[in-house]
Amino acid sequence: MNQRVQQSKVINKKRVLHCIQQESPISRADIAAKIHLSKPTVSLLVDELLQENKVYEKGIGPSSSQGGRKPIHLYFNERAAYVIGTDISGTKVKTILSDLNGTILHTKSFSTASHLRTGLFEQLSRDVSSMLSAEGIDVTNVLGMGIGVPGITKNGVVIDAPSLDWVRYPIQSEAERHFPFPVYVENDVNVAVLGEQWIGNARNKRHVLFIAVGTGIGSGIIIHDRLYRGGAHASGEMGYMVTDRRDFEGDFQPIFHRYGYLESVAGGKAIGATFTRSVVLDPVHPAYQAAMTGELSGELAFRYASEGDAVAMSIVNDAITQLGYGIINAASVLNPEVIILGGGVLKSADYILPKLERMVNEYLPIPIELKVSELGSNAGVIGAVSLFLREHEGTGHLL
């Protein structure tokens, strides 16, 4: 078989597998009709997938209107293999054991700070071993691992991750020293957008903008069904947008070293810091004593705002306005089908989303869906599984 024919067969086999994964239960004839391949070709490819245990047959479907033998239904075997998904943040390393449909079978996590200097991957290896043992799964049945990291990554190297103090850290090679399977690494928000497109609120969308709002603000971008990384793999750094020129040209100081303007005025840490400064000037404010002993959180500011507190509402609403300008600017350039909001902002989505929707619909010429993340705190780990399945040859998602 020449190389071109072999490549065509591999592509068609992935198409068949993907069709079964998305449409099961489904018959061979229906697969042929849906992906426009001949019935004999589909039958041959299905036979191979059955032998490889990637699909299985079960029961029989209804007979056709012309009568005749009832078709046998095919199902995707989501337990044919397993994938590890890991989300490394500045505070926690969360890892899941997943099947091929993104179902979480087991979860483990540990504090980033307690292991960052003393063996992060050693602890991660112990967590993976513990999960596999608990589920009775042999490591040989693990296809591989996807990892999301809060920083710019390129070719398996973390170029810069301020919250981890990593600069040009060879994370992929370091991970592969500890695991017997392949590992793929990507920026954490890029990973999250992959997860939302796979089994979250961006399913079946080819143009997606995922915005993570927490201490910082970043975004993941999918264009024409492909992750957009940018020329230096630094796309989506929305936190560096300037949404108020006068403020920026004044005495602006970033909330953290190397942080951008938008995340320094609209991120959770910035909201909490601004709220604290205002409350300490108001001895009758109910949060005064707490503000005098330590910095208040952005989450607390949102809680007070939702209860009608004038100080909190002023600060929170200004931050939402700044975030709204950033979203409008990004959407004007990218024209996504849907914008997904994730990160710590999810805790206050009921307060934030209606205000953002009003701004976006007022200023954009074409309506755009604005939704919160369906995967929530699991967007990173499920996205890491999705990353692996997309990148790894021959697994097809499986394509």
Question: For residue 55, what is the domain's CATH number?
Answer: 1.10.10.10
Q: How high is the pLDDT of residue 337?
A: 96
pLDDT at residue 259, rounded to an integer: 83
State the Cα–Cα distance between residues 360 and 34, nearest whole angstrom.
37
Within this chain, do residues 170 and 248 fall inside the same structural domain, yes or no? no
Residue 168 sits in the same domain as residue 40 = no
Interatomic CA distance for residues 147 and 171, integer angstroms: 9
Beta bridge partners of 208: 222, 338
Q: Does residue 3 lie within any of the structural domains?
A: yes
Question: Quick one: 253 and 368 in the same domain?
Answer: yes
Dist. CA 171–CA 169, nearest whole Å: 6
Q: What is the pLDDT of residue 378?
A: 96
Q: Spell out the residues 6+ positions from residue 391 whose beta carbon is closer than 8 angstroms to its own.
A: 146, 184
237 and 362 belong to one structural domain: yes
**Do 72 and 187 share a domain, yes or no?**
no
Q: Is residue 392 part of a domain?
A: no
Residues spanned by the domain of 14: 1-76
The answer to the question of residue 103 being in a domain is yes
The dihedral built from the CA positions of residue 323, 325, 330 and 331, taken in this order, carries a sign that is positive
Query: 347 in a domain, yes or no?
Result: yes
- Residue at 379 is within a domain: no
Q: At what angle do helices 188-199 and 379-391 cross, to 10 degrees?
A: 80
- Output the 3-class SS for the chain: CCHHHHHHHHHHHHHHHHHHHHHCCECHHHHHHHHCCCHHHHHHHHHHHHHCCCEEEEEECCCECCECCCCEEEEECCCCCEEEEEEECCCEEEEEEECCCCCEEEEEEEEHHHHHCCCHHHHHHHHHHHHHHHHCCCHHHEEEEEEEECCEEECCEEEEEHHHCEEEECHHHHHHCCCCCCEEEEEHHHHHHHHHHHHCCCCCCCCEEEEEECCCEEEEEEECCEECCCCCCCCCCHHHCCCCHHHHHCCCCCCCCCCCHHHHHHCHHHHHHHHHHHHCCCCCCCCHHHHHHCCCCHHHHHHHHHCCCHHHHHHHHHHHHHHHHHHHHHHHHHCCCEEEEEHHHHHHHHHHHHHHHHHHHHHCCCCCEEEECCCHHHHHHHHHHHHHHHHCCCCCCCC
> Which of 199, 216, 233 represents a domain boundary (last residue)?
199
Is the bond preceding residue 25 a cis peptide, omega within 30 degrees? yes
Whole-number Cα distances in Å, 271 to 141, 237, 242, 313? 46, 19, 17, 11
283 within domain boundaries: yes
Q: Report the pLDDT value the prediction gives residue 367, as an integer from 0 to 100.
A: 87
What is the pTM assigned to this prediction? Answer: 0.88
In-domain check, residue 389:
no
Say how many domains are in the chain: 3
Residues 350 and 267 in one domain: yes
Cα separation of the two ends of the chain: 22
> Do 184 and 123 reside in the same domain of the chain?
yes
Please indicate, yes or no, whether residues 260 and 296 belong to a single structural domain of this protein.
yes
pLDDT value of position 269: 92
Same structural domain for residues 159 and 192? Answer: yes
Q: 51: which residues sit within 8 A by CB, 6+ positions away?
A: none
Domain membership of residue 333 (yes or no) is yes
Residues of the chain with pLDDT under 50: 394-399
Q: Give the residue from 164, 199, 234 where a domain finishes.
A: 199
CATH of the domain at 217: 3.30.420.40
Q: Which two tokens stand for residue 172?
A: 């992929």
pLDDT at residue 255, rounded to an integer = 80
Whether residues 215 and 297 share a domain: the answer is yes
Task: Give the pLDDT score at 398.
Answer: 43
Within this chain, do residues 226 and 369 fall inside the same structural domain, yes or no? yes
Residue/partner pairs of 316-321 with CB below 8 Å, 24 or more apart = 316/271, 316/351, 317/355, 318/265, 319/265, 319/266, 319/270, 319/271, 319/274, 320/266, 320/352, 320/355, 320/356, 321/359
- Residue 223 and residue 358 in one domain: yes
- Which of 56, 76, 96 is the last residue in one of the domains? 76
